[in-house]
Amino acid sequence: MKVSREQMAENRHRILDAASRLFREKGFDAVSVAEVMKAAGLTHGGFYGHFSSKDDLIAQTLAHVLAADSGGGGDLRAYVGSYLSPRHRDNCAGGCPTAGLAAAIRHQTPAARSAMTEGLRSQIDRIGKALPELDPADRRRAAIGSWAAMVGAVILARAIDDPALSDEVLEQTRAWVDAGISQVSAS
């Protein structure tokens, strides 16, 4: 059955949101088109009315979720603390798409890689802007280094089965990043 233009736009949005959560939770390969559509409250048939392929869905989902990902707007220390928390580690589906998906993007289409590139660029800028006390060169270095450590720590913490070590990876990285952004210029 046909639906209103407005309804269609909402459906499209629901598909992207559902895909975003499912991809972060289970990975691109482990999620079927039908599963995404079902999670969006539709059936698999209408999929190709919205997207030209699963690869297209992946690319558009990435652009969608990376644009929405508003990182360190306020206090950087608080952002780092919540990013490197057990709560975030355990919340893949609702968590940072970079931590959840970056490693898989190597195997995706150019459009997906391009979306990731823009996402990374703006994230580095956002973190840099939260470090106004540093001079520009140190600021960029601190932003990139901190972000790499944050993403790496969450990926490592999620990969292992020892909860104590996983917690420790998060907490030590948090302390390490905190120390780093307090005293960059002394290198």
The residues binding its own copies (CB under 8 A) are 26-27, 29-30, 92, 98, 100, 102-107, 110, 113-114, 116-117, 120-121, 140-142, 144-153, 155-156, 158-162, 165, 168-169, 172-173, 175-180, 182-184, 186-187
Q: How far is CA 91 from the centre of its chain?
A: 12
- In sign, the C-alpha dihedral spanning 160, 163, 165, 167 is positive
What are the φ/ψ torsions at residue 165 (nearest 5 degrees)? -65, -40
Contact 79, 126 (CB under 8 A): no
* Residue 142 interaction partner, one of DNA, its own copies, none, beta carbon < 5-8 Å per kind: its own copies
Nearest distance in Å: CB 19, DNA: 11
Nearer to DNA (CB atom), residue 4 or residue 187:
4
Given 46, 81, 145, 180, the residue binding DNA (CB under 7 A): 46
Check: CB of residue 69 under 8 Å from CB of residue 119.
yes
Q: Which residues contact 71 (CB under 8 A, 6 or more apart)?
A: 79, 123, 126, 127
- Minimum CB separation of residue 40 from DNA in Å reads 9
Give the residue, chosen from 17, 25, 39, 50, that forms a contact with DNA under the rule CB under 7 A.
Answer: 50
